[in-house]
A and B are shown apart, each in its own frame.
Chain A
Amino acid sequence: MKYLLQKHDLLLRIMRISMTQACFVLIAASISYGTNAPGQSLLEKQVSITVENKSLKTVLNQIEKAAKVKFMYSPKVVQAERRVSISVTRQTLGDVLQQVFDPLSLTYRVSGDHIVLSRMKTEPQSLNGTSPASVIPELPAERTVTGTVFDDRGESLPGVSVMLKGTQRGTVTDPEGNYILVLADADFNPDAVLVFSFVGYLSQEVAVGDRSTLTISMKIDNKALEEVIVVGYGTQSRKNVTGSISKIDMKQTQDMPNTNVGQSLRGRVAGVQFLDNGRPGQNGSILVRGPRSLSGGNNPLIVLDGIFFNGSLSDINPNDIESMEVLKDASSAAIYGSRAANGVILITSKKGTTDKPTIRVSAFSGLSNWSYKPKLLTPERYIEKTLDIRRQTGLPADPANIRDYLTSSELVNYDAGRTVDPYDEISQQGRISSYDLSLSGQSSRTNYFLSTSLSSEKGLIYNDNMKRLAIRANIENEVSSWLSIGMNANYIRRDLSGREASLGSAYPATPFGTWYHEDGEPTWYVIAEDQIPYNAMRDAMLTTNQEVYSNLFTNFYALVNVPFIEGLSYRLNYSPNYRWQHNYNFVRQDKHETHINNTSASKMNRQDFDWVLENILTYSKRLNENHVFDITLLYGRNHSGWESTQANSTRLSSDALGWNNLGLGELLVNSSTAAATDGISSMFRLNYRLKDKYILTLTARRDGSSVFAANNKYASFPSAAVAWIASDERFLQEATFLDMLKLRFSYGAVGNQAISPYQSLSLSSTNRFVYGDGGVSSLGVFPSNMANTDLKWETTYTANAAVDFELFKNRLGGTFEIYNMDTRDLLVRRSLPNMTGYDFVWTNLGATNNKGMELSLNSVNIQKGKFEWLTNFVFSRNKNKIVHLYRSDTNGDGVEDDDIGNRWFIGQPIGVAYDYVFDGIHQQGDEMPTGYEPGFVRLKDLDGDGKIDANDRKVIGQTGQPKYRWGLTNTFRYGDLSLSVFVNAMQGWISNLSTVDYSVSGGNYPHRPLNMLDAGWWTEENRSNTRPSMVYPNPYGHGYYYSRDFIRIQDVALAYDFPKNIASRVKLTHLRMFLSGKNLYTWTNWIGPDPESGETNRGSFFPTARSVTFGLNLGF
């Protein structure tokens, strides 16, 4: 990314910071891992470096990268343009520095992890080339100003440039920090100002007045501000960012066994919600800030190395990722205007950073089990259920006759004392392992990062497995001084083969069922004669399944730094993305059902081909000290298309060939489909900085997308943002507790196009029918999609205000943001009255609003000797509501109509529970409606008209997203040992856990020999006031609502870095071990499988895994 940094002004960039260093800085500000060797050991670092005839600046730069140190110096003092050659291999830093500096008459001292450069003492000199000592006595007519410059710790600073403002006259401080400046009479006036400047420190201007001694204390420039942020089509210094961007350093989660990059987001970024669905190798869902669209997608746009990434998030190897940035407000996201309405996640892969090839190995392996197992009926409770349901339906229910009430098959197991826990029966030992190897480095012209990783996960459900191979090559070559060509290529093979056991069938399995024949073959139904429930292991055991996803994602780019016009560069991106997947299945013959040919085989193949072509022109110009411009222009096109073929064959004549010869089947059915979308984008962005304190960003993007109606393909999305670095103002310089204060405000528009292609058109689907006996299959065609010739972009207008701060010598830092997002012309999959002939139509209507606040805090609580305690806290709250729907008022009450059919209510959040209100259970003697009996649910008669009807429904609570989320990370470090504990919480949401509805509509069928979630039920003896009897038919079809609030100890990691001397003894540059635990404990009242995934469908009760993992990172 360095090509986008301005190269011409070294003073501006106080330090050269590579991406790696930026990460280190961030860590220093948030979570420390103790890899920085303090003090003297810094000089013992092993360094290899080879340069020939390069500027000193470049050499220092490379040493910075190789040794992870920072140099502080005045370029003029050290004459940084001087040419140097050096070639060393694995020498200590101290030796290297000596070799470089001695010939140049430079010296240095170590301050923390900084190395401060100065001229050797013997040669103090003024910039005019004459020694001040010799000048003073000879020119008495002139006046001298003397003094000492200290750093903020009170140590003297050598090499500081001291200049008389507005002139070329000046000097530098000597190794003791002293200076003598001789001023001519002409220069001396009451307004004379001295400018003190030094790399790594804030410049200071001091009026001389009539003083002859000026002692100055320099302040270190805030390092957090220098963090480099990927902003989309370029990078920026954190200091200059105007929008709302959260950066996620992957090092934060390096000690956690994450196989999906989304897991690194989980709970850690204010305003970002990642919900893990608990399954290996599959995507969770991500929500940035809040849902805006009623039914257009709410998934954020993923941009990998600058290119739209349409694949699965689980295709990205977390170990390849340097950082992720989440663009949350309109200003930062507007640059991706067309697709950015739901936020953008920028993912940047790693690059080479050292001259010496660096090989890194990281590996982890762990075991997992169920963090929570939903409670099904135990054998004892199952017997109780069997008796109670009979009692409540008026059938004989004598416990002594229980043998008559069980089915014949159950009886066999009941008599033999055999019982089955269905969830145990379909479980397997969860395992996770990952091995990652990377090679990276840079030579004078080439930067490379090559990696390969193998990860393997066994989920908790039998056959729910994932294996992934990821290979990456990032190569950039500097062809000439003005041309670089590079490639980021990524190949992933994700193998989800294996038919997993059926959770949906396990749920209702009686504890007395028979799962296996004596030869170990699965039965068909666990109660054979009743043919329920389907054996949850049957398909898993009879089916051979191959499900493999491949993804080749490549970006080829050329970067031209246009000669003769400094600051102008052009970048060409071409990114083809091939994805191919197949899903083959073969069901073998059931050996116990030979009279039935149950064999079947199928093949599904799908190919996706997407491409992005982009032309990006950037121009950076510093007009003078006060004005800096950055201009970015983009013109690009993108395409995404896919096609698939499905072939099914049933009743194969032989099961010898699996799916390889579908022709063996008796009934062959095949189908295919295809779709494509296209887009055109052009974009303009201007960054303007005034005095490096006032920053303005203007962005405009115009997008065209094929998915909209013919006349509405294009839309424009402008935005503006301003930032003010208040702490750089003179009047705040005195506030010493304030290290940095920055205010930001932005407003702008971004678009949403997240609908399938062809939705603006009228479409037809097909089916088949057979006329006559023995007739052929005829094709039926029918209208399936209502056209909408007005379908257009959905637009979100976001206002964002934020303050960034660093206080108390960077002991406390953070960001506080508030935002207001108005979304208009919502893309809505609007339900229609069935009388129209359709279920829904895609349309634009209404408006939604999201208001929220986000707070991120980093603090260094204790820093004493080797001990350090750091805290990171993120909190976010989003309030979502529907502002308008159809702007209709059919009943004339002056209030806009709600859309009850879609459960959309003006003024309420998008996802709400709208239902009858539970009011306890009818008990014996209560007055109750006709047909009711004790044990039935009492609903509230809201309108008081004496009966329960549709008017007695109301909005009960918020579903879909919590009212607020928070995450707290505490990191404790003692020397090389660190412990971090991350707690994640979401609160203020409910969900209808329909599974606990024991009526037929809940699908539990309690009168049949089926198991169910043990949520309790009303009986004559146990007159519950919260749970109905088992015969309650739920005539109004109301839901059962539970809070999904939870607090979870999500990640705990204990890591140990072996001391350098031990590591180097085994020829390693670093060696790190970690032990981590995931989802260790959860506080919640939710009785479904997991409050975070909130799954209520029994077929998706995938358990959230609690895992313990051991890992190793090493480099050499």
Chain B
Amino acid sequence: MKNQATYFSPYIPLLLAGLIFFSLSSCKDAFLEEKPLASLSTDIVLTSKSGFENYLTSLHHAAREELVLEDNHDYHFTMHSGTDIATTGQEDARPFRNYITYLNPNANTVLKHWQWAYRIMLVRANTIIAYGNKPELEPIWASEEEKNAIIAEARFFRAYTHNFLANLYGGVPIVDTIYSGPKTDFVRKTRREVYESARADLEFASRWLPETVEKSKEGRIVKAAADHLLTEVYISLEEYDNAIASADKVIDSGLYELMSERFGSQKDLPGDVYSDLFKYGNQNRSSGNRESIYVWQFEDQTPGGSGTSGGNNILRGWGPWYINLRDPDGQAGMIIVDSLGRGVGLTRPTTYFLYNLWAGNWDNDMRNSPHNIRRTMYYTNPASAWFGKPVEPKTTRLDTMQNAYPTLRKIEGRVPLNGNVNGGRTFTDFMVYRLAETYLLRAEAYLRKGDLQKAAADINVVRARVNAKPVAASDVTLDYLLDERARELIVEEPRRRTLTRMGKLVERVRKYNMREDTRSTIQDYHEFFPIPQTAIDANFSSVLEQNSGY
């Protein structure tokens, strides 16, 4: 043992150990400093114009999620089901069949729309606005215009969201700032205050947004979108002259017109100009569509082109579940075919919409043409003896609520590039605002102001394009306007929000919904959504009042 000690001094490791101790003790603080390796932060990103563009892009992503965040009965389709123009197609206790047992503070639709608004829309919009206004970031902007255009787009979305909430829930907390710490004492503002907040944002947006955008930026917010929405907000604030003036800005801009000639991708195929509006690729302005103002963008086979639930799902939601049809022999009558796509009948137009609304214009109103409402279906299963023959009512297992009903063709789309028609999604863009609605909003303003002539004139611009008989000024009422909106804008307009905005939901559901249990269970308090229970529970430092009745 001794001989080893001679060539291996015991002091060497001690010395080494001491060195290690010493070296470790220095630069202590830098060692624990945290710098995220793969995560960005607002402070890092919002230091250049392109960073702001990144944040705006995520805001556009969020805005489209209003349609595609969830792909079920309980989300976007509740904007239609259980109203005057649509009900759920499925034969069980489904959303908005029985209002009492469905619409309560725990309902998925109540929570998810609330979360969409606050958790993804307002926080993103407010971050852009707050940082855009930071004096220390002033040097990054080429001009005041450039900065304000960015802020204006964010403020448009903030207004869009507040307006959405006020329409649906009534007065809600206004969130116009960003929070760096927990806050549990939110209080509800009045519905009017919420609209006023939206008005302020939109007036700014209208001033600073660009009039048009280049093709590569289609989907971005233009000035007309702000003016269009501002028209609605002014109406809610009962400022009808402002509403009219705001709509004038759009209508008289020279940029927009109702399409009157065939156009776009299928203009040489059988169809009409109204059906052209909804064909694949025909929504953005560069396609020749001079009617669209704000369009949710979908793109097949491109990252970011489809949103959370994988594409535009209105075909799936509104289409009949025809695949369940059996032929009169009791054999499978249908297979999925590309033109019909795959609907599951989540939401189904009511008899009132499919029949009553077209009375007097059944044959002449383009919107009721076979190109726009498919009223006859044919057996598609080549193995069936009935292949190619029309589906007649009253055959076995013909469930006309869910499986077979006239189909709105504006929901149809091109077969996805991967060839899968089973998904029920398309990649057709979705028009949020188009000029026809601007006319109808201005008509509403005139109507509420008492100028029935001008109201009728605006409505008749819309009707003339589709070859419908003009309406007489004396026949123009809010209900007529709602009927016209349904004829023109079904699927496109969030019907429930329109009805609650006008305070007509309960009344018209009792009148026109086709299900007895829906008509009998809706209560006056159902005019508004309840405040989600989770929001009330989490906001424990202050009472977030529930809407009365719930």
Contacts and interface: CB of A to CB of B under 8 A. Distances in A.
Interface in B266-308: 281, 284, 286-287, 297-299, 301-305
A168 interface: no
B534 A530 contact: no
A637 B28 CA distance: 10
Contact of B182 (A713, A830, A898, A1037): A830
Contacts of A408: 324, 326, 331-332
Given A570-B17, A833-B544, A835-B175, 17 more contacts: A393-B92, A405-B397, A483-B8, A483-B10, A529-B332, A572-B13, A596-B418, A597-B418, A598-B418, A615-B21, A764-B45, A769-B304, A773-B281, A835-B173, A838-B123, A929-B100, A1035-B101
Contacts of B183: 832-833, 835-836
Contacts of A676: 37
Contacts of A773: 218, 281, 284, 286-287, 297, 299, 429
Given A598-B420, A841-B182, A931 B57 contact: no
Contacts of B118: 834-837
A772 B55 CA distance: 18
Interface in B319-346: 323-324, 326, 330-332, 334-336, 342
Interface in A901-937: 901-902, 929-932
Contact of B41 (A643, A674, A763, A830): A763
Interface in B496-550: 521, 533-542, 544, 550
A1031 interface: yes
A761 B396 contact: no
Given A480-B8, A651-B418, A404 B540 contact: no
A782 interface: yes
User: Lowest 9 CB-CB distances: which A-B pairs, in order?
Assistant: A837-B123, A768-B304, A780-B58, A901-B538, A931-B100, A408-B332, A780-B57, A782-B58, A900-B537
B413 interface: no
Interface in B6-54: 8, 10, 13-14, 16-17, 20-21, 24-25, 28-29, 31-34, 36-45, 51, 53-54
B127 A783 contact: yes
B394 to A, nearest CB: 13
A765 B39 contact: yes
Interface in B96-114: 98-102, 104-106, 108, 114
A1001 interface: yes
Interface stretch (A28-36, A197-205, A341-349, A558-566): A558-566
A678 interface: yes
A418 to B, nearest CB: 17
Interface stretch (A6-14, A207-215, A664-672): A664-672
Most buried by B among A563, A704, A783, A831: A783
A966 B185 CA distance: 45
Contacts of A530: 323-324
A704 B330 CA distance: 74
A786 interface: yes
Interface of B: 1, 4-5, 8, 10, 13-14, 16-17, 20-21, 24-25, 28-29, 31-34, 36-45, 51, 53-55, 57-62, 64, 73, 90-94, 98-102, 104-106, 108, 114-115, 118-120, 122-124, 126-127, 173, 175, 178-186, 215-220, 281, 284, 286-287, 297-299, 301-305, 323-324, 326, 330-332, 334-336, 342, 396-397, 417-420, 422, 429, 521, 533-542, 544, 550
Given A772-B219, A833-B186, A613 B303 contact: no
A950 B539 CA distance: 14
A597 B38 contact: no
10 contacts: A480-B8, A572-B16, A675-B38, A680-B31, A706-B32, A772-B284, A778-B304, A837-B122, A890-B540, A932-B101
A713 B28 CA distance: 11
Interface string A749-787: 000000001101111111111111111111111110111
A531 interface: yes
B119 A931 contact: no
Contacts of A389: 92
Nearest to A676: B37
Given A529-B323, A773-B287, A782-B55, A764 B41 contact: yes
A633 to B, nearest CB: 10
B20 to A, nearest CB: 6
Interface of A: 389, 393, 395, 403-405, 407-409, 479-483, 524, 529-531, 558, 560, 562-563, 570, 572, 595-598, 613, 615, 635, 637, 643, 650-651, 666-667, 669, 672-676, 678-680, 704-707, 710, 713, 757-758, 760-783, 785-788, 830-839, 841, 843, 888, 890, 897-902, 929-932, 949-950, 999-1001, 1006-1007, 1031-1033, 1035-1037
Contact of A1007 (B58, B92, B420, B538): B92
A28 to B, nearest CB: 37
B534 A901 contact: yes
A832 B53 CA distance: 28
A833 B36 CA distance: 26
B535 A834 contact: yes
A949 B536 CA distance: 13
Contact of A890 (B73, B108, B419, B541): B541
Given A562-B10, A772-B297, A781-B58, A713 B304 contact: no
Contact of B34 (A635, A760, A1035): A760
Contact of A570 (B13, B99, B102, B301): B13
Contacts of B533: 950
A529 B334 contact: yes
Most buried by B among A761, A772, A834: A834
B58 A838 contact: no
A767 B8 contact: no
A643 B120 CA distance: 28
B10 A597 contact: no
Contacts of B175: 835, 837
Nearest to A778: B57
A843 B99 CA distance: 40
A771 B8 contact: no
A50 B107 CA distance: 80
B39 to A, nearest CB: 4
Most buried by B among A563, A672, A674, A767: A767
Contacts of A1001: 108
Given A768-B303, A769-B304, A761 B57 contact: no
B540 A667 contact: no
Contact of B57 (A669, A779, A841, A890): A779
B460 to A, nearest CB: 33
B8 A529 contact: no
B20 A835 contact: no
Nearest to A405: B397
A902 B537 CA distance: 8
B243 to A, nearest CB: 29
B217 to A, nearest CB: 5
A764 B219 contact: no
Contacts of B24: 613, 615, 635, 637, 680
Contacts of B64: 769
A667 B539 CA distance: 44
Contacts of A407: 324
Nearest to A637: B24
A764 B326 CA distance: 52
A635 B21 contact: yes
A1000 B178 contact: no
Contacts of A781: 40, 45, 51, 54-55, 57-58
Contacts of B53: 778
Most buried by B among A393, A669, A672, A1000: A1000
A898 B538 CA distance: 10
A773 B287 CA distance: 9
B120 A596 contact: no
A735 to B, nearest CB: 48
A787 B93 contact: no
Given A678-B31, A757-B34, A833 B184 contact: yes
